[in-house]
Structure 1
Amino acid sequence: MDLIKGFYSLTKSVCPRSSDCSISRGGFAIWGFNSSVSVKSCSRVSIGYVKLKNGSPLVSFSRFGKFRLCGSVQLGRFLTSYDEDEMSEELFEAIEELERMVRDPADVLDAMNNRLSSRELQLVLVYFSQEGRDSWCALEVFEWLQKENRVDEETMELMVSIMCGWFKKMIEEEHVVGDVIDLLVEMDCVGLKPTFSMIEKVVSLYWDMGKKETAVLFVREILGRGIAYTVNDAEGSKGGPTGYLAWKMMADGDFCNAVKLVIDFRERGLRPDVYSYLMAMTAVVKELNEVSKALRKLKGFIKAGSVAELDAENLNLTDNYQSDLLADGVLLSNWIIQEKSSLNVGVVHERLLAMYVCAGRGLEAEQQLWEMKFSGREPDAELFNMVLAICASQQESSAVARLLAGVEATSSMQRKKTLSWLLRGYIKGGHFHDALKTITKMLDMGLHPEYLDRVAVLQGLRKSLQESGNLEPYLELCKRLSDANLVGPCLVYLYINSHKLWIIKML
C-alpha cells in the first residue's frame, strides 16, 4: 500500500451545519473547540518518504509554510488553530501506522498511548474522517478512546460532528436507507452516545432536504430492525422516531398524514412508542380544529350571502369526515391504554376531550371531562365552561344541570363567567327562551350579563315573537333589564292585523 504522501482536503462531510471547508491538497485543518470563533488559518504539512535498500520505507516529515487563510469550519463550536510546532513526530507516525493496516488500530494506539496528547488524538479522528480515508478506522480510534476513558467533552462533540457530516453526505448522495442505518449501528457499537437522538437528526436531515418519503422509509426500517432508541417520558415529549416524524409532519400543517403514519406503523406490527400515539391524537385535535375554523368561515360567507347553503350531501360528507377523525382518535387512545405505560391516563382523556370539543360533541366531551377528573388530572374551570356551552347549544339539559352543580358555591366572578358561557351556548343554538331564563337567573344573583349578550337575546326573542306571536317573553326581559337599569325606558309596539290595531306599552 502506498505510504502517506499528504493530507487531503477536508470536505463538507465533516461539517454538519457548516459552510464549505476549502483547504488545499497537502493541507489540513487543525481545530479544537472554542465557543464562537471560526477558524481563519490552517497549517500545511507535507510528508515525504524514501526507501531503504531492502525496500522497507523510511518515513521523514518536513513542515513548511506558516499559516494561510482557508474556509471556516463550523462544528457547532470551533477548534482553534493548532500551532504546527506542537505537532509531534508521534502524531504522523500514528497516522502512518494506522493507514498501513498491518496491526489492529487498538494495538497501534496502545503502543503510543502515553506519547499522544488528547489534541493529537482528535487530529487522528479528523484525518480518518476525511473523504477518501478509511472511516472505519476513525470509529476504531474512537472506540479505543472510549475504552481508555480518554473521551472528553470536546472529543465527543468532535466525533458527533463528524458523524453528522457523514450522515448528511450519505443522504445528499442518496445512499440506500440500509447504509444509513448500518452507520447508526456502528456508531452505537463504538459507544458514541450523544446527548441528543442521532435518529432524530437523520430524520430531520431527510425532511429538510425534501426527502420526506425516504424519512418515512427510514423510520419504518428503524422500527422493523428493532434499532434501540431512547424516549424522553416527560409530558409533551415527541417520543421516539415515529413521534418525531409525526411532529415534523404537524409542523408542516400535514395533520392527517401524521395520524395515518402512526396508525399505519401500528397496523404493520411495528409497535411505535406510546408517545407517538399521543402525538397522533394531538394531530387529530389540530385537524378537527382546522375543520371547525373552516366551517365557521363558511357560515359567515353563507350569512353574508356570498355562497349558497350547503346541501345535504356536503353536510353529510363533513360530518363523516369529522366522525372518521374521532374514530382514529379513539383507536389511538385505546392503544395507549393497552400499553399500560407510565403515561397518566388523564392526558389521554384530555386529548379526547379536546377532540370532542373541536367537533362540537357535547355529551362525549362531558364524559371525557369526568373521566379526566376521576383519573386524577383536574380540569380547569375553562374546560368545564366550554363543555357547558356546547351542551347548552345542543339543549342537553341533563348535562347542563350536572355541569352547573355547585356553581353557586364559587366566587361571584367565576359564577358570572360560567353563566355567561351558558348564555352564549343557548344563543349559539338559537334557544332564546332558555337564554331568557339564564339572564333572569344572573339578575337574581346580582350579576349583569354583558351588553352584546343582552342585545343578542332581545333580538332573538323579537324574531321569535314575529313567528309565534307570543309577546310575554320579550316583555318580561325588557322589564327585568329596565328594573336593573340595564336599559332605559322604552315603548313596545304591537300591531294586531285582524283588528288593524296598534297597542303601545311603555316599560
Structure 2
Amino acid sequence: MAALSTRALVLVYFAQEGRDAYCALEVFDWLRRANRVDGETMELMAAIACGWIERLVGAGGDVADVAALLGEMDCVGLRPGFSLVEKAVALYWDRGERASAVEFVRDVLRRGGVGVDASGGEYGGAASAAADGERGGPVGYLAWRMMMDGDYRDAVKLIVEFKESGLKPEVYSYLIGLTALVKEQKEFSKALRKLNSSVKEGAISKLDSEAMHSIENYQSELLRDGVLLSKWAIQEGSSDVLGLVHERLLSLYTCAGCGLEAEHQLWEMKLLGREPDTQLYDVVLAICASQGEDAAVRRLLAGVESTSAGRRKKSMSWLLRGYVKGGFYLDASETLLKMLDMGLYPEYLDRAAVLTALRRNIQESGSLESYMKLCKRLSEMDLIGPCVIYLYVRRFKLWMMHML
C-alpha cells in the first residue's frame, strides 16, 4: 500500500498546475514499463488527464493542442476504460462551442483516432455500443450529441462530409447516421400529414408545383443519404453490421411510405436470420396495398394463413386499411368479405370505413353491386342492421329506394 501511495504522490506532484504535463506522462510511462500500473494508478492518471483536458478546453485553447495531448496520452498507454475524445467533445458541446467540437473530431481523425477507449472493438467497443443503438467512436459520439439535440440532418451531413473529405469515420457512425435519418423521416412524414390535412380542410391553399418539387427533392435526399450510409457501413463493416443496416433501412422506407423498398429490407433481414417484428410485416403490407402493389401483397400474405386467428385478423385488417387509404375500395371490400369467409370478424371502424368508401364509389361509378353485396353479407352475419339504399336517377329525376 505504501508503494502505491508513493506512485500516486509522484504522479500528483508532476501533475500540479504550472508543471509540465508531459513530465507526469513520462512518469506514468516509466511506471507502466516497470509493470507498476494497477487499476487505481490508471484511474488516478485518467482523472489527472481529464483535468488537463478541462483546463485546455475551458481556456479556449487550440483544438489541435487538445488532440496533441490525447495523442501523447495514447502513446504512453493511458487506457482509462472510457473515451477521452468523448470527454473533450462533451466539454466543447456543453459550452456551446459546436464548431470547435466538429474541428476537434476532424483533427482526431487526421491523427488516426487517438485518445479513444481501447476496451474492445474498433474505436473502443463501438460494435457493442452500436448494437445496442448507442453511439460509438468520435464521429459517432458527436453525431449522437447532435441527434439528441434534434439536429438529425446536421448529424447526417457531418458524417457524409467527413467521409467525402477523405477522413475515415468509424463504421458505427454510419449506423448513428441511419438512426438520425429515420428520426428526420418521421418528423418529415408527420409534417407532410399535417400539411395535407390542412390543405384538405381548406385551411391553406393547394401547394403549387414549386413547393411540391421542393418536398419531393427533400424526400429524395433523405433516401439517397440512407442508401449512401448503408453502402459505406456494409463495405467497411463486419457481417454483424448487416442486420443493423437493413433494420434501419426498413424503418426509413416504412416511414417514407416506400412499399417495395421496405419489403426488400424485410426479406434481407430474414435471410440474415433477424426475424422482423410481425407488426412491421403488417405495416409494409398496408403500404404495398395502398400503392396497388399486388405482387408484393401476395408475397407478404403467403405465410399469414398458417398463423393464429388473432395474427391473421391483424394482418388482414392492416391490408384492408391500406386498400382504403390508397383508394382501392373494391379490393378493400373483397378483403373484408375474405375475412368473413375465414371466420374473422373485422372491427366496427374497419367495416364502417369500407362501407363509407363504397358509398363514395357509387357516386363516382354509379355501380351498386359491391355495396349491396357487402351490406347483404354483413346483414346475414348480424354485423349491421337493416339498410335502406336511396338511388337518384338524374335522367328521370327519380329517387329509388331499396331495403336490404
TM-score over 0.5 for the pair: yes
TM-superposed CA distance for 1:119, in Å, is 2.7
Rounded to whole Å, the distance in 2 between the matches of 1:195 and 1:209 is: 24
Larger radius of gyration: 1
Pairing partner for 1:430 from 327, 330, 335: 327
Where structure 2 has 5 or more consecutive residues not aligned to the other structure, the ranges are 117-122
1:227 aligns with 2:113: yes
Q: Which residue pairs with 2:120 in the alignment? A: none
Compare 170-179 and 367-376 and name the one that shifted more: 367-376
1:326-368 CA deviation, whole Å, 9 max, x = no partner? Answer: 1111112122222252434222222222221111111111122
Give the 5 Å matches for 1:291-306: 291-306=188-203
Pairing partner for 2:57 from 171, 188, 197: 171
What one-letter code is carried by the residue in structure 2 that aligns with 1:265? F
Note if contact 1:231-1:239 (Cα within 8 Å) is conserved in structure 2: yes
What one-letter code is carried by the residue in structure 2 that aligns with 1:231? G
1:154 aligns with 2:40: yes
Note if contact 1:347-1:377 (Cα within 8 Å) is conserved in structure 2: no
Relative to structure 1, is the Cα distance of residues 231 and 122 closer, same or farther in structure 2, using a 3 angstrom cutoff?
A: closer
Note if contact 2:171-2:237 (Cα within 8 Å) is conserved in structure 1: no
Note if contact 1:129-1:135 (Cα within 8 Å) is conserved in structure 2: yes
Rounded to whole Å, the distance in 1 between the matches of 2:109 and 2:74 is: 16
Rounded to whole Å, the distance in 1 between the matches of 2:241 and 2:34 is: 43
Note if contact 2:323-2:329 (Cα within 8 Å) is conserved in structure 1: yes
Note if contact 2:243-2:274 (Cα within 8 Å) is conserved in structure 1: yes
Pairing partner for 2:10 from 115, 124, 148: 124
Instruction: Give the aligned CA root-mean-square deviation in angstroms.
Output: 1.8
Note if contact 1:493-1:503 (Cα within 8 Å) is conserved in structure 2: yes
Compare 135-144 and 170-179 and name the one that shifted more: 135-144
SS of the aligned residue for 2:240 comes to coil
Rounded to whole Å, the distance in 1 between the matches of 2:368 and 2:139 is: 62
Rounded to whole Å, the distance in 2 between the matches of 1:456 and 1:295 is: 23
Larger proportion of helix: 2
Rounded to whole Å, the distance in 1 between the matches of 2:303 and 2:72 is: 62
Q: Which residue pairs with 1:332 in the alignment? A: 229
Compare 440-449 and 476-485 and name the one that shifted more: 476-485
1:185 aligns with 2:71: yes
What one-letter code is carried by the residue in structure 2 that aligns with 1:250? M
Note if contact 2:234-2:241 (Cα within 8 Å) is conserved in structure 1: no
SS of the aligned residue for 2:124 comes to coil
TM-superposed CA distance for 1:237, in Å, is 4.4
Rounded to whole Å, the distance in 2 between the matches of 1:443 and 1:506 is: 22
1:411-459 CA deviation, whole Å, 9 max, x = no partner? Answer: 1011001001101111111211111011000011111111111111111
Q: Which residue pairs with 1:105 in the alignment? A: none
1:449 aligns with 2:346: yes
Rounded to whole Å, the distance in 2 between the matches of 1:200 and 1:477 is: 63
Rounded to whole Å, the distance in 2 between the matches of 1:490 and 1:497 is: 22
Note if contact 1:274-1:341 (Cα within 8 Å) is conserved in structure 2: no
TM-superposed CA distance for 1:214, in Å, is 1.0
TM-superposed CA distance for 1:400, in Å, is 0.8
Provide TM-score, normalisation by structure 2.
0.92
Rounded to whole Å, the distance in 1 between the matches of 2:194 and 2:279 is: 24
1:257 aligns with 2:143: no
Note if contact 2:233-2:241 (Cα within 8 Å) is conserved in structure 1: no
Q: Which residue pairs with 1:216 in the alignment? A: 102
Percent identity (aligned): 60
Note if contact 1:360-1:390 (Cα within 8 Å) is conserved in structure 2: yes
Note if contact 2:323-2:332 (Cα within 8 Å) is conserved in structure 1: yes
Give the 5 Å matches for 1:297-316: 297-316=194-213
Q: Which residue pairs with 1:135 in the alignment? A: 21
Compare 490-499 and 474-483 and name the one that shifted more: 490-499
Rounded to whole Å, the distance in 2 between the matches of 1:451 and 1:117 is: 79
1:349 aligns with 2:246: yes
Relative to structure 1, is the Cα distance of residues 402 and 222 closer, same or farther in structure 2, using a 3 angstrom cutoff?
A: same
Number of aligned residue pairs: 393
Q: Which residue pairs with 1:45 in the alignment? A: none
Relative to structure 1, is the Cα distance of residues 201 and 338 closer, same or farther in structure 2, using a 3 angstrom cutoff?
A: same
1:198 aligns with 2:84: yes
What one-letter code is carried by the residue in structure 1 that aligns with 2:387? C
TM-superposed CA distance for 1:251, in Å, is 0.8
Where structure 1 has 5 or more consecutive residues not aligned to the other structure, the ranges are 1-113
Q: Which residue pairs with 1:419 in the alignment? A: 316
Q: Which residue pairs with 1:501 in the alignment? A: 398
TM-superposed CA distance for 1:195, in Å, is 0.9
Note if contact 2:146-2:152 (Cα within 8 Å) is conserved in structure 1: yes
Note if contact 1:239-1:274 (Cα within 8 Å) is conserved in structure 2: no
Q: Which residue pairs with 2:135 in the alignment? A: 238
1:373 aligns with 2:266: no
1:89-121 CA deviation, whole Å, 9 max, x = no partner? Answer: xxxxxxxxxxxxxxxxxxxxxxxxx9x542343
Rounded to whole Å, the distance in 1 between the matches of 2:55 and 2:327 is: 62
What one-letter code is carried by the residue in structure 1 that aligns with 2:41? T
What one-letter code is carried by the residue in structure 2 that aligns with 1:320? N
Note if contact 1:247-1:258 (Cα within 8 Å) is conserved in structure 2: yes
Note if contact 1:237-1:275 (Cα within 8 Å) is conserved in structure 2: no
Rounded to whole Å, the distance in 1 between the matches of 2:227 and 2:16 is: 51
Runs of 4+ more than 6 Å apart: none
Q: Which residue pairs with 2:119 in the alignment? A: none
Note if contact 1:423-1:435 (Cα within 8 Å) is conserved in structure 2: yes
SS of the aligned residue for 1:343 comes to helix
Compare 298-307 and 467-476 and name the one that shifted more: 298-307
Q: Which residue pairs with 2:144 in the alignment? A: 247
Relative to structure 1, is the Cα distance of residues 132 and 309 closer, same or farther in structure 2, using a 3 angstrom cutoff?
A: same
Note if contact 2:106-2:162 (Cα within 8 Å) is conserved in structure 1: yes
Provide TM-score, normalisation by structure 1.
0.74
TM-superposed CA distance for 1:284, in Å, is 1.6
TM-superposed CA distance for 1:159, in Å, is 1.9
Rounded to whole Å, the distance in 2 between the matches of 1:128 and 1:227 is: 27
